[in-house]
Amino acid sequence: MPENRTLVNDRPGENRDKNLYRNGEYRYSWPILIIGNLILHRDMEHMTDQKECKRCGTCCENGGPALHTQDLPLIENRSLSFDDLITIRKGELAHDPVTNAIEPVKTELLKIRGKKGSWACIFYDKNGKGCSIYGHRPLACGVLKCWDTDEILALAGKDLLSRLDLVKEDNPLKKRMIEHEQLFAVPDMKTISRTVSRSSKKTIKKLERISNKDLTYRSRAVHDFHLSVAEELFYFGRPLYQLLTPLGFTVRETATGIKLQFK
């Protein structure tokens, strides 16, 4: 993701936006996440004769895979870096291909990040219709067969990697990461999605306050550790306001922080 974000007081004497990043993917309202990289083909009749990948790119464009414990060597040998991953925190809403429903994520997972405001895998080469890390691709990519989903469905949700599996004890960001999760855990998104149209201004203001505090905490960490956008999304996941926008919230910047409104 681009580095064209600017924070208040990052240069003395300049009046800069405090919270939202300008002119880049970070402003996008991300679409609902698809767990893993699988969209189930409910009508399999047209695929009965398929026995191999046709390199159409559909799976890769639907999203990169979640990482499993078997993928740990890809991090250790630097085939994948933290910059390549995005943290999906417990409680975020996502499309579950097993149930074909949008549900809160039951446990934290790490996913190959998307590009340009979408979940399309960053390693998918659309022009070449192939994977740029094919020889070092994650486990889920290796077992995925769109014409025979038994193996990928058996893997879904099992032995998932989390940030705590990757971040070493001597990494000074580990303490910040844990503290942030304690202070700004994902709220009950399912209840919010069901009741937001009836929510009082007081409830929306509460979400607004938490969203601003979340951004302030992140801004401090970005400043202290010189984090890129990609690193921030690994260590802290997506900001709360971005999780709310698919539910119908709009975000407006002001001199005192962001303002949330429900459409």
pLDDT in tens, the chain (263 residues): 334 343 332 322 233 334 454 334 444 445 556 555 554 444 444 555 777 888 888 889 888 999 999 999 999 999 999 999 999 999 999 887 777 788 899 999 999 998 877 888 999 998 888 899 999 999 999 998 888 888 888 888 899 999 999 999 999 999 999 999 999 999 999 999 888 888 788 899 999 999 999 999 999 999 999 999 899 999 999 999 999 988 889 888 888 899 999 87
Query: Which token pair is 52?
Result: 């191999």
Tokens of 130: 């192939």
The model's pTM is 0.84
10 Å CB burial of residue 45 (0-12, 13-18, 19+) is: exposed
Distance CA 159, CA 161 (A): 7
What's the pLDDT score for residue 30? Answer: 56
Query: In the chain, what is the straight-line distance between the N-terminal and C-terminal CA atoms, in Å?
Result: 28
